[in-house]
């Protein structure tokens, strides 16, 4: 009986495999590139508007 509880406690403390980690990393990378592109575009647009 004690070995069952040992196995259960070991299974609960093991790190879980995260299948969505590569997808999340790719989505975060794409979101960062999108925000950076928008910031650069707005900066160029405002700079051109101020320059005349």
Element (H, E) at 13: helix 2-13
CA 49 to chain centre: 35
**What pLDDT is attached to residue 51?**
93
* Whole-angstrom Cα Rg for the chain: 24
**What pLDDT is attached to residue 2?**
67
**What pLDDT is attached to residue 27?**
96
| Four-residue CA torsion sign, 32, 38, 40, 43 | negative
pLDDT in 10s for each residue of the chain, 52 residues? 667 777 777 777 777 777 888 999 999 999 999 999 999 999 999 999 999 8
């Amino acid at each position: 009986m004690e070995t069952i509880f040992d196995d259960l406690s070991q299974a609960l403390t093991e790190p879980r495999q995260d299948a969505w980690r590569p997808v999340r990393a790719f989505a975060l990378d794409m979101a960062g590139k999108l925000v950076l592109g928008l910031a650069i575009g707005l900066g160029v647009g405002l700079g051109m508007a101020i320059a005349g």
